[in-house]
Structure 1
């Protein structure tokens, strides 16, 4: 059996909630940045209408979530550390 390269530190349920909240915040931020960059805008040639515009926002959010879960731009980790530090204070 091959030992793991690194072990994942054990986290408490509170830490998991904080990490998930931080990832979701980063995902929403990235989604807005992708929107500003024009990702998901329907091209004029296809004419998908209102439905296409609504579903493109959902696609953009899911793409941003995938980016954030893969490490994103580091915002989630910074938020997580800040939230963790404040939750440790008595």
Structure 2
């Protein structure tokens, strides 16, 4: 029986290998890799922006805060959360952006 993870699905843990290999998955062989990567980057940026606004309400003056280091590196952590979430399936924005980019490319031909 597989153990359940208490971590959100977008956080990489040793029991859960990273999904993204830089190439399309076997079921996504028909996808254009460059367009798909760009669509995932867009979704990652969008999700990072959502997470950044979530952290704006978190105080930094409590006894268990990370101090100046937390403030300095929080944006990088939030960016990685967004990237990992987008690579793990995300919230569906990458699929829509991918389809739009393909349509734009067909119109230009």
TM-score (normalizing by structure 2): 0.63
CA positional deviation for 1:45: 2.1
Over 3 Å counting, the alpha-carbon distance change for 1:9 and 1:57 in structure 2 is closer
On the 8 A contact 1:27/1:61 being kept in 2, the answer is yes
Structure-2 residue corresponding to 1:21: 38
What is the aligned residue count?
A: 81
Q: Is the 8 A contact 1:42 1:53 kept in 2?
A: no
Displacement over 4 Å in runs of 4+: none
Q: Does 1:55 align with 2:86?
A: no
TM-score by length of 1: 0.74
Which of 4, 17, 27 pairs up with 1:8? 27
- Which deviates further from its counterpart, 46-55 or 79-88? 46-55
Does residue 67 (structure 1) correspond to residue 67 (structure 2)? The answer is no
Contact 1:42/1:48 (8 A) holds in 2: no
Listed as ranges, the matches of 1:38-49 within 5 Å are 38=55, 41=58, 43=60, 44-46=62-64, 48-49=66-67
